Amino acid sequence: MPHIENRIRRLRFDAGEITQKDLADRVGVTRQTILAIENGKYAPTLDLAFRIARTFGVPLDEVFTFHDD
Amino acid sequence: MSCGERDALTSLITTLIVIVLFVLLLLGQHAAGDFAGSDGLQVWAQSVLLLVCASIGIAIVVAIVFHIAYSTLTGDKPDDRRDERDRDIDRRALTFAWYLLSFGILGVVIDLALGASAFRALNLMLALCAVSELFKDAVRLALYRRGA
């Protein structure tokens, strides 16, 4: 079953341990949505995925990776 | 708790209160024979319209009380932002409720075709609307709780 993994937790840590709330405010969503994405419970839209990547200043595929198991 | 999750919970509470009121009022009127006359359906429709108006007021009161209780108990300032995940959950819950309503209406039409009265059919439709609303809110809550 295909699934999308993400490195948001790691990127938050590398960016100075910014909180889920800070990241949520920066990309314009709720903290619960960031939590759901980090836990792999929710797959964000392309728009939000790009906004998250841009916030960390990295390409999209450094945040999200697709696995077709 | 996100704004969408609070909405789902308050909507569930409101729907439960309205259903109890509907059942009490309509059963009371039925027992009193208000629907027995030739204008029975008209009386029924007036009662339903009255309760629909009342339900808007109930929804507002429940939302305010819940908002105050939530702020008091948690000490948090509620975040009223809704985002793409809320819309996704709404859409999924609405789809489930729509299927329930569609098949339910089909069942009512079959019931009518088998000889049920219009009065019974209207009450079943009303019950279906209430159940599908409850179902929608329950699915929304379940999706929020699951972290979807």
How far is C-alpha B22 from the geometric centre of its chain's CA atoms?
A: 11
- Name every residue whose Cβ is closer than 8 Å to that of residue A19 and which is 6 or more positions away in sequence: A12
Decide if A43 touches B, using CB distance below 8 A.
no
Domains of chain A plus CATH, in order, are: 2-59 (1.10.260.40)
What is the model's pTM?
Answer: 0.83
Measured between beta carbons, the chain B residues lying within 8 angstroms of A47 are 84
Decide if B92 touches A, using CB distance below 8 A.
no
Instruction: Give SS3 for A30.
Output: coil
The domain limits of chain B are 3-146
Report the alpha-carbon distance of residue A38 to residue A35 in Å, rounded: 5
Q: Evaluate whether ipTM surpasses 0.90.
A: no
pLDDT tens-place string over residues B21-57? 989 988 898 888 888 888 888 999 999 999 899 999 9
Please choose, from the candidates B113, B119, B122, B112, the residue with its C-alpha nearest in 3D space to the C-alpha of residue B38: B119
Token code pair at residue B69: 């209780």
Share of chain B above pLDDT 90, in %: 61
